[in-house]
Amino acid sequence: MRSIREEETEPTGLPQSRRRGRSAGGFLDDVCNSKDELFSAVVESIKGLFLGKLRSPDVYAAGPVEAIALFCGRFVELACWRDAVGCQRVALAAAARSPAIAWAVYDTLFAEACRSLAAYLRTRKLTRSPEQDAELLLSATTGGPVIRHLDGVDDPCADLPGDETVGTRVDMKRIREAITLIASTWKL
């Protein structure tokens, strides 16, 4: 994004890419009219990748507690991936100027995961308040690790987690304990 920002400040008023022809920067200038529009397009493309890698809880295990634990573990792994951390940091920095960007990142990373988890809880009839429990589960299992990565306390994972390595980059013991505590009120 730095190169796009630099090109917007060309002294002639036209981005350098428009003056030099159809480079990648010129293509972006034609497709996106502003940095916010470009970032929104990036968020939309990340959304498909993120949700495709997250999947729904029922693909992780047959038992609901373990399925939810692995779902939350995968969520933490994805939210702490370098590109996701960078996207979240940009959204936080832009929040005051463009609340729509912050909302798009929140919706992509957290709200969509909550909706998927709530649908799983509702389908399994595990709780009377699936939306509330889904938010509680994700908050309880992700808060500390995600904040540490956003604040730079922990280094983000450079590679996108693979499907075969669910739960290997996070503290699954802690996640299982939180889920077991919350699930103790459910009809299992």
DSSP output for 110-145: IIHHHHHHHHHHHHHT--S-HHHHHHHHHHHHHHHH
Q: What single-letter DSSP state applies at residue 165? A: G
Lowest-confidence pick of 57-61, 116-120, 141-145, 174-178: 141-145
Same domain? 86 vs 99: yes
Q: How far apart are the C-alpha atoms of 142 and 120, rounded to whole Å?
A: 18
Q: Say yes or no to pLDDT of 9 above 60.
A: no
Same domain? 12 vs 39: no
Same domain? 22 vs 53: no
**Any idea what the CATH number is for the domain that residue 54 is in?**
1.10.357.10
* Domain span at 154: 35-183
- Per-position b or e across 124-146, b if 16+ CB within 10 A of its CB: bebbeebeebbbebbebbbeebb
pTM: predicted TM-score of the whole model, two decimal places: 0.76
Q: How many domains does the chain have?
A: 2
Same domain? 2 vs 46: no
Q: What is the mean pLDDT of the chain?
A: 80
Same domain? 15 vs 107: no
Question: Per-residue pLDDT tens for 13-28?
Answer: 444 444 444 444 554 5
